[in-house]
Chain A
Amino acid sequence: DADVTQTPRNRITKTGKRIMLECSQTKGHDRMYWYRQDPGLGLRLIYYSFDVKDINKGEISDGYSVSRQAQAKFSLSLESAIPNQTALYFCATSDQDRGTDTQYFGPGTRLTVL
């Protein structure tokens, strides 16, 4: 079984709709992250959380919100989707206690906003 899972894997929605992307992990890591990836722009950080009570904005948080429901779950919401939020979204986890804080990525969610 995968250590980091994302649902859904693909989603097509319309402008103005509310969308939630979910991430779950069985790695026991405290830190979780949401990124989006666009062609030619690389991975950009949306939000991150270092424990259940900690939420931090990344470099492109406008138009997004998150919820850390438990150590193992971190959800990303688009309150009112717009076409330029069409992208590949990745969740990642890391564990600073191991020193390197290496991030491990989920399989991704391909979101299309029409």
Chain B
Amino acid sequence: GQNIDQPTEMTATEGAIVQINCTYQTSGFNGLFWYQQHAGEAPTFLSYNVLDGLEEKGRFSSFLSRSKGYSYLLLKELQMKDSASYLCAVSSYGNNRLAFGKGNQVVVIP
């Protein structure tokens, strides 16, 4: 089976940097996804990591360490619109499905 753990909530100030962590346990790791979800809306794809290291995409970066079963999403220059839940999801060989964490709620304050 798969076990994915994310902290539940954090508050950060507009313009700041916030790091959202995700740890996972799975056999046959085949990639990790980050999604953003505003309340009551659909999750939207942010990033994908399958190799160790940092992937940068504008204000958002995602890091993966396969040996540690660990990923983080870094949000820079926070904006009010970044207030959302951030979901970590893991893909595994032979499982044919994504396993989602419960999400980390980020609240951006002025």
A contact set with B: CB distance below 8 Å: 33, 40-45, 48, 50, 56, 58, 88, 90, 100-108, 110
Contacts and interface: CB of A to CB of B under 8 A. Distances in A.
Interface string B78-104: 000000000101010000111011110
B43 A58 contact: no
Chain B: interface size category? 20 to 34
Contact of A107 (B42, B48, B87, B97): B42
Contacts, number: 45
Contacts of A108: 40-42
A42 B103 contact: yes
Contacts of B43: 43, 90, 105
Interface of B: 31, 33, 40-45, 48, 50, 87, 89, 91, 96-98, 100-103
A6 to B, nearest CB: 9
B100 A50 contact: no
A106 to B, nearest CB: 6
A62 to B, nearest CB: 17
B44 A105 contact: yes
Given A41-B102, A45-B98, A107-B41, 16 more contacts: A33-B97, A40-B102, A42-B87, A42-B100, A42-B101, A43-B89, A48-B96, A48-B97, A58-B97, A100-B31, A100-B50, A101-B91, A105-B44, A107-B42, A108-B40, A108-B41
